[in-house]
Amino acid sequence: MRVEVAVLGVGGVGAFTLRALARRGVKPLGIEQFVPGHDLGSSHGGTRVYRHAYFEHPDYVPMLLHSSAAFGELQETQDRPLIVRCGTLLLGHKDSKVLTGARQAAEEHNLVVRDLNAGELRARYPQFDLPTDFIGLLEPGGGFVRPEAAIDAAVKDACKHGALLHTRTSVQNIQEDDQGVHLITDRGEIYCKRLIVCAGAWSQKLLPQISTKLQVTRQLQAWFTTPDPTPIQPEQMPTWFLARDSEPALFGIPADPLIPGTPTAKIALHGRTEKADPDNLTRTVSPDERKQFQELAKRWLPRLAATVTEAKVCMYTMTPDENFLVDRAPGMERTWFAAGLSGHGFKLTPALGQVLSDLALDGKSDLAAEFLRLREM
């Protein structure tokens, strides 16, 4: 099979890359080893935190604003919202990088954020039991995005505009020559003029030349119920991110009102360091791991009397500085990639799709992402 542009991996980034290419009139081919929306990579679990006042680096903000607009546009084809704007609350010491970085990004880009002192936090969010020297920064425009629904909508929109999809097809080897790129798959060969690799946790297997910059880690997300579901509804509880001094940050997402049955809110650690191999991953959550989340909920949200009822395994692909990598593959002319989303990438998938499609078709993009190019780390 011969195509103009192939997108390897149709998870979060791949779905939006496929859509951006299709909307530009290219008829791209998406190749996915499972089926879009699967729960074996990094984009499952129903919800992801959405925020713009970005403590990680202020240069993500224009990409986030682009993503917000793209999710909004895609939203119009849906009967259910892709983003719920229940606000995002950052919590920590006044001089923690999370709070100072977010405030700096908000100032640089004129984003609406509100400082909350310890007393205001206690009064407004009695769910939390915080140290007395913790303060908050609330971004009312934040909230959560629904990853599987967004992937489904992006893929459908891409196919409506001419994209093709090969599911249950695993790419095993990539080889470039002067004319294009040969992909060896478990279902035969594909030849494309340009290739965009969006393989998430599998990136270093396909592009070993970037493997020293990536580390896959095993992550957990847990859900809990409460006797009274009111304080975990989006009207009462924003998405939240709690910076702790010497331990991984803790974050949470309120119950998604679209999920039928007993409401469950999410709690997760940001930055577990357990190394993992995506093809050999422990996908079950042990009783001890569940217990850890039960204890975390009891410690930080004691008034909710939470019971952890479910937990799932997921993967982060970390870079040393925790910023993404978006560039042409080293030693290759026709192959581009995004990798190393470092546990904060879903909200940026529309922007990454735009940048990757621009780079592959034009060699440059109006959406500035130079700060994410391959670099010494």
| Whether the Cβ atoms of residue 112 and residue 142 lie closer than 8 Å to each other | no
**Nearest of 32, 24, 25 to residue 7 by alpha carbon:** 32
DSSP string, 27-95: --EEE-SS-TT-SSSSS-SS-EEE-SS-TT-TTHHHHHHHHHHHHHHHHTT-SS-SEE---EEEEEETT
199 binds ligand FAD (CB under 6 A): yes
337 binds ligand FAD (CB under 6 A): no
Q: Which of residues 113-172 bind ligand FAD (CB under 6 A)?
A: 170-171
The two structure tokens encoding residue 140: 């009312």
Tell me how many degrees the CA angle 183-189-193 measures, rounded to the nearest 5: 50
The shares of helix, strand and coil residues in the chain, as percent rounded to the nearest 5, are 30, 30, 40
| Whether the Cβ atoms of residue 356 and residue 22 lie closer than 8 Å to each other | no
357 binds ligand FAD (CB under 6 A): no
In the complex with ligand FAD, the residue whose CB is nearer, 102 or 314, is 314
**Nearest of 327, 296, 329 to residue 311 by alpha carbon:** 296
In the complex with ligand FAD, the residue whose CB is nearer, 14 or 263, is 14
The two structure tokens encoding residue 21: 């290419």
Residues 6+ apart with CB under 8 A from 164: 3, 27, 28, 29, 30
In the complex with ligand FAD, the residue whose CB is nearer, 136 or 345, is 345
The two structure tokens encoding residue 257: 């009102």
Residue 254 three-state SS: coil
Residue 65 CA: distances (Å) to CA of 5, 53, 144: 27, 10, 15
Q: Look up tokens 């009967």; give the residue.
A: 79
How does DSSP classify residue 212?
G
Give the x/- contact pattern for ligand FAD in 34-73, rule: CB under 6 A.
Answer: x------xxx-x--xx------------------------
Residue 53 CA: distances (Å) to CA of 59, 101, 122, 170: 10, 8, 23, 37
254 binds ligand FAD (CB under 6 A): no
Radius of gyration for the alpha carbons in the chain, expressed in angstroms and rounded: 20
Query: What is the nearest approach in angstroms of ligand FAD to the Cβ of residue 18?
Result: 11
11 binds ligand FAD (CB under 6 A): yes
Residue 12 CA: distances (Å) to CA of 136, 148, 272, 350: 30, 8, 21, 9
Select the residue interacting with ligand FAD from 341, 351, 361, 369 (CB under 6 A): 341
CA 212, CA 67: separation in Å to the nearest integer?
Answer: 29
Query: What is the nearest approach in angstroms of ligand FAD to the Cβ of residue 34?
Result: 5
Question: Which region, judged by CB under 6 A, interacts with ligand FAD, from 28-36, 91-99, 108-116, 327-335?
Answer: 28-36
Query: What is the nearest approach in angstroms of ligand FAD to the Cβ of residue 37?
Result: 9
Residue nearest to ligand FAD (CB): 11
266 binds ligand FAD (CB under 6 A): no
How many chain residues touch ligand FAD (CB under 6 A)?
37
| Whether the Cβ atoms of residue 28 and residue 166 lie closer than 8 Å to each other | no
Residue 204 three-state SS: helix
Give the x/- contact pattern for ligand FAD in 270-309, rule: CB under 6 A.
Answer: ----------------------------------------
In the complex with ligand FAD, the residue whose CB is nearer, 117 or 173, is 173
350 binds ligand FAD (CB under 6 A): no
Query: What is the nearest approach in angstroms of ligand FAD to the Cβ of residue 227?
Result: 26
Give the x/- contact pattern for ligand FAD in 201-230, rule: CB under 6 A.
Answer: xx---x------------x-x---------
Select the residue interacting with ligand FAD from 14, 30, 87, 231 (CB under 6 A): 14
Select the residue interacting with ligand FAD from 268, 301, 326, 356 (CB under 6 A): 268
Question: Which region, judged by CB under 6 A, interacts with ligand FAD, from 100-108, 208-216, 313-321, 360-368?
Answer: 313-321
Select the residue interacting with ligand FAD from 33, 226, 319, 335 (CB under 6 A): 33
Q: Which residues here bind ligand FAD, judged by CB under 6 A?
A: 8-14, 31-34, 41-43, 45, 48-49, 170-171, 198-202, 206, 219, 221, 268, 314-316, 341, 343-347
